[in-house]
Amino acid sequence: MQSYKTYMNKKICVYAIAKNEIKFVERWFNSVKEADYVCVLDTGSTDGTYEKLKELGIITKQKKYDFFRFDTARNDSMELIPSDAEICVCVDIDEFFNKGWSKILKDNWSNDTTRARYRYTWNFNPDGSEGVVFLADKIHKNGYFKWEHPVHEILVPCTNKNYKTIDLVNIQLNHMADNTKSRSNYLPLLEVSVKEKPTDDRNVHYLGREYMFHGQYEKAIKTLKYHLSLKTATWKDERCASLRYIARCYGYLNNEIEQEKYLMLALLEADHIREPYYELGVLYYNQKLYLKSAIFFNEMFKIKERYLSYISDPICWGSLPYDYLSMCYYELKDYDKAIENVNYALLYNSSKRLLDNREYFIKMKNKTKKEIVLPEFLQ
């Protein structure tokens, strides 16, 4: 156990950028004020955010940009960090920590630590359960990193010093985004990012995904295929995601042959994650190939470990796969398994539709029992 004196000397600074975040400022500040310093660069708020930050005693500066890019703004925000702060923690205004995070960080931070990863819940489902969860890494040693990329920016080393990253999964950061805010600038910023660094596989993947979100399916397919061709694109989970997104685009273009082909390629790329099994199960269900659909959902359920990665789709870990499987078994007239799987679905979601389905499956099971007549030679 580290000494109290050592613990006290590790000063933490939380820093952020903000624009028109008045509805989140107090919640954010209440969660980060455990730090020794709190700094925010306001990038042009007009809703009172800047004034509220100053009222709370936060180290604050306002700077407006003719052309906004996230890496530039975050690097500018780091200039507000006091020189005696050793540990820097980047937390957006629509995020908030669970209590006690700063003590955990100080207790585990050593002289040779340069970065820390923590548990991050990127979104929550309508019922309040967690959606996408992964390990984020925006805690770093002062003076060791800078931000890079116009959007989906990342920390990159700015010195040749040695680096040591620690995992602190008992630090929990939550994200509750303002869904009324436009993210329309993400696509042009991603295009700038890929133009600046055309072989950066991460942002090429993001650009292809963004084209898909915007309904530009041909562009998405071309970009995602380019991602897969890059020598640095070696992370199987992300390659699998690119293949699945290509499949989705072909689906939107009503080309089920290519859709199935790329989902099969996604499965071959990463058979250790649930996502490709799930999407194949849904495809075959929609094609009314219920036996094939059931096979892939059952294979999916053999995977018990959910990786803490942004690639992990929460839909694969909720009620819907069991819901689909119960309907497959209903169509196959296996009512026992239909009932079993709708019961699993109800553990996650007690909707009226699922309750009605269960009641109907039980009714069909009982009806089938009454209709069974033994052949004459068995009577």
Give Dmax over CA atoms of the chain in angstroms. 92
So what's the pLDDT on residue 185? 86
pLDDT at 315 over 50: yes
Q: Which residues make Cβ contacts (< 8 Å) with residue 65, sequence separation at least 6?
A: 43, 44, 72, 73
So what's the pLDDT on residue 7? 47
Q: Which is it for strands 37-42 and 154-157: parallel, antiparallel or unpaired?
A: unpaired
What are the tens digits of pLDDT across the range 257-292? 999 999 999 999 999 999 999 999 999 999 999 999
Confidence band of 377 (pLDDT split at 50, 70, 90):
low
pTM of the shown model: 0.87
Q: How far apart are the first and last CA of the chain?
A: 77
User: Of 77, 89, 249, 92, which Cα lies nearest the Cα of 181?
Assistant: 92
Residue 98 identity: N
Give the Cβ contact number of residue 70 at 10 Å.
20
So what's the pLDDT on residue 309? 87
pLDDT at 4 over 50: no
Q: Which helix (H) or strand (E) holds 323?
A: helix 320-331
So what's the pLDDT on residue 23? 94
Phi, psi (deg, nearest 5) at residue 205? -60, -45
**Contact (CB, 8 A) for 55 and 129:** no
So what's the pLDDT on residue 372? 61
So what's the pLDDT on residue 375? 65
So what's the pLDDT on residue 6? 46
CA separation for the pair 245, 209 (Å, rounded):
7
pLDDT at 293 over 90: yes
So what's the pLDDT on residue 241? 98
**Contact (CB, 8 A) for 155 and 137:** yes
Domains observed in the chain: 10-175 (3.90.550.10), 186-287 (1.25.40.10)
Report which DSSP code applies to 317.
G
So what's the pLDDT on residue 376? 66
- The residue-averaged pLDDT of 301-325 equals 93
More confident position, 158 or 98: 98
The listed range with the strongest mean pLDDT (305-309, 352-356, 364-368) is 352-356
Give the Cβ contact number of residue 2 at 10 Å.
12
**Contact (CB, 8 A) for 95 and 25:** no
So what's the pLDDT on residue 1? 40
* Buried b or exposed e, range 147-171, using 16+ CB within 10 angstroms: bbbbbbbebeeeeeeeeeebebeeb
The number of CA neighbours under 13 Å toward the Cβ of 282 is 16
**Contact (CB, 8 A) for 122 and 134:** yes
What are the tens digits of pLDDT across the range 183-235? 778 999 999 999 999 999 999 999 999 999 999 999 999 999 999 999 999 99
Which residue stretches of 10-48 are H helix?
25-32
What are the tens digits of pLDDT across the range 227-249? 999 999 999 999 999 999 999 99
**Contact (CB, 8 A) for 208 and 198:** no
What are the tens digits of pLDDT across the range 38-68? 999 999 999 999 999 999 999 999 999 999 9
Confidence band of 34 (pLDDT split at 50, 70, 90):
very high
Q: Which residues make Cβ contacts (< 8 Å) with residue 99, sequence separation at least 6?
A: 31, 34
More confident position, 180 or 305: 305
Q: What is the DSSP string of 231-298?
A: TT---HHHHHHHHHHHHHHHHHTT-HHHHHHHHHHHHHH-TTSSHHHHHHHHHHHHTT-HHHHHHHHH
Q: What does the chain come to in residues?
A: 379
- The residue-averaged pLDDT of 157-182 equals 87
So what's the pLDDT on residue 161? 75
